[in-house]
Structure 1
């Protein structure tokens, strides 16, 4: 199928990937509508992509070469044990074949790889969409009553043959595809931060290793990432929410970097001092408040990823708790499946049907796995300090429940 016009609502990782896929597939016109006016590349979060998923995505053309990444090889699970020293005691170590990325650098690489024919518009708020399908006989050029209407914040309406919702947690497009579907609060929060890797010294500071600090009621994942000005240490800490009503749980939200209140910072520092091995508590305390934020954890699975001429991608389709380390890979896999469906399809209806078949169940399985990981690592933590290595490995396999591992699934040939 060739021709037609595509609007991509949201211009981050999923949005850039889908815009590139549509343009390369032969769309007549592709427009990205991004709400943010500033530089998305300034987002300093870390993320990881499994080596096998990355290889698949590179072969498919969804992951451009040359983007800075840091190689990781193993994951060490650590508990506080004063007798073992300031770095704590390693209770288990497992292979961890991932590469870590800086969110902004990954986004920049995807944005630069977007074909010149794509029109990328920033500062454009989409307030609603509608989409109707013209039926099986409707070709790429559309027909009477077929297509998607995109309503903008200035009151104008734009018409396309297809609208892709790559607009994340608060997706406007999702509301049109699955009315009433909302992310659900998981019952705990995620603290995030990063700091200059040159400031991290001492026991257990192995550049290729991920360290997971385990404590009653929570855990924290610590690893290196590349940064615009050199290597950084990224950390993600899961724990029960602070008391006092400073966070809202009725809608996905966060205190952005630099916006934490003194009370929230005091809560974080007390948690580090009370639960962490001294070395790791001091290391995370090095994080500048301007590079620290907290957000409630949510998840969401949708009954469908398509409706009419509308399609959901990335977090708009499924919100997966971060424990699964699959968010970026899943967004790029969605774009890969979209491109493959376009190549096989003769009509928009066929494209949307094939995409739903390829990605609907995959997203729900990722949500289910991440929920198991969250229960085991935050909501119902075991007596980690008393675990043998064999018990720790059995505990891990129980979370997987038959899944091959974390980091996402292989694409179906």
Structure 2
């Protein structure tokens, strides 16, 4: 199938990947609507991609070469111990991943987007409609800021919702579907790894992810590449302060620079009470402007397509971050979309093939991440009492037959 116009709502990782996939597959015109008007490459959040998923995506052309990564090989689990500043190591497991800086990954995907793609930044989509007999089967996109034509719909043969966990497109595909608050949050931060020099050498190997464990939560710490050298990235999961001042049921976040005093104080108290001294000092190196909070949500949708609308990445399924699969899943969605396009004879065939391939995959990721969240935050074990063998058994219980974290393997090409 060749020709047609495709609108992609959202221009971050999933949006760039889908725009490139549509252009490569043969779309006549592809336009991306990204509401953010600022420099997206400045976002410094870290993420990881499993080595096997990265190899599959690179082979399919969905993950461009040359993007900076940091190699990780093992995950070390530690708990506070009065005799050891860095805590007690109770388990170590293989961790075959590479870490990324969100902004650098996005930049690589954006630079790899074909020149034919129209990337419109600072444009907000307020609504979409899925297509019907009245408009020749095309879908409609309504823009908030289209000048004299504000409110007038644009028509496209296909609209891809790559607009994240608060997706406008999802509202049209699955009306009433909203992310569900899991009951806890993650504090996040990152800082220049050169600041580690004052904490002592040799405590934390550069290829290791460290998980600091405590009653009612855990914190994952790892290095990522940055625009100006290596950075330290951390994600701490726990229940927020129970003062009643926080309203988290509706999807929200507390971005860098907007952390409330209540949340900042809650983090400081948690570090002092539960963390080994070394790791408490390490997290405290994070500048306030690089510290933020994300409430944890999840969502599985009944379908990923409707009419001429298609959901991608977090717009399709919101997966708790414990599964380390968000970026890989978004890129896999794009890879499957491109493959389905190349073999489809019609839009209906394309959308059906995508739904069949990605609907169940998203639901399985949500289910696994819920199990991981229960085990590592909501119903934590007595970490200090676990032996390495017991920790391995506990981990396998979370997987419940899944091959591992980081997302599922891509099926072989037909």
Deviation at 1:219, TM superposition (A): 0.1
Residues 217 and 238 in structure 2, CA contact (< 8 A), matched pair in contact too: yes
Question: 2:215 is matched with which residue?
Answer: 216
Please tell me whether residue 123 in structure 1 is matched to residue 122 in structure 2.
yes
What is the rounded CA distance, in whole Å, between the counterparts of 1:248 and 1:23 in structure 2? 42
- Which of 129, 137, 141 is the matching residue for 1:146? 137
Name the CA distance, whole Å, in 1 between partners of 2:105 and 2:65: 10
1:190 counterpart (186, 198, 202):
186
| Preserved contact between residue 133 and residue 349 of structure 1 (Cα < 8 Å) | no
Tell me the secondary structure at the aligned position of residue 248 of structure 2: coil
Instruction: Work out whether 1:41 is the aligned partner of 2:32.
Output: no
| 1:87-236 matched pairs, under 5 angstroms | 87-132=86-131, 145-153=136-144, 154-200=150-196, 201-202=199-200, 204-236=203-235
The structural deviation recorded for 1:133 is: 5.5
> What TM-score comes out, normalization by structure 1 length?
0.96
**Residue aligned with 1:167, SS:** coil
Deviations 1:46-80 (A, max 9, x none): 00000000000000000000000000000000000
Is 1:361 paired with 2:352? Answer: no
* Counterpart position of 1:277: 276
- Counterpart CA distance in 2 for 1:240 and 1:211 is 20
* 8 Å Cα contact 1:323-1:370 kept in structure 2: yes
Q: How many residues align?
A: 404
Q: C-alpha deviations, 1:388-409, integer Å up to 9, x for none?
A: 1100000000000000000000
Q: Does 2:308 align with 1:317?
A: no
SS at the partner of 1:48?
strand
1:252-401 alignment to 2 at 5 Å?
252-401=251-400
Q: 1:261 Cα deviation (Å)?
A: 2.2
Alpha-carbon displacement from aligned partner over 1:271-303 (angstroms, at most 9, x marks no partner): 011100000001001100000001210000000
- For residues 148-193 of structure 1, give each alpha carbon's deviation from its aligned partner in whole angstroms, at most 9, with x where no partner exists: 0001113131000000000001100001000000000001001000
Please state how far the C-alpha of 1:241 moved relative to its aligned partner.
1.3
Deviations 1:290-346 (A, max 9, x none): 000012100000000000000000000000000000000000000000001001100
Q: Is the Cα–Cα contact under 8 Å of residues 40 and 104 in structure 1 kept in the other structure?
A: yes
Answer whether contact 2:34 2:122 (CA < 8 A) is retained.
Answer: yes
**SS at 2:130's partner residue?**
strand
* Deviation, structure 1 residue 144: 5.3
Partners of 1:338 and 1:133 in 2: how far apart? 22
Q: Identify the residue that residue 137 of structure 1 maps to in structure 2.
A: none
TM-score in terms of structure 2 length:
0.96
Aligned to 2:22: 22
Q: Residues 246, 78 of structure 1: CA spacing in aligned structure 2 closer, same or farther, 3 A cutoff?
A: same
Note if contact 1:314-1:334 (Cα within 8 Å) is conserved in structure 2. Answer: yes
Looking at structure 2, the residues matched to 29 and 145 of structure 1 have their Cα atoms a distance apart, in angstroms, of: 18
* 2:325–2:407 Cα contact (<8 Å) kept: yes
- SS of match in other structure, 2:85: coil
* 3-state SS of paired residue (2:185): strand
How much does 1:263 deviate?
Answer: 2.6
How far apart, CA to CA, are the structure 1 residues paired with 2:262 and 2:170?
Answer: 35
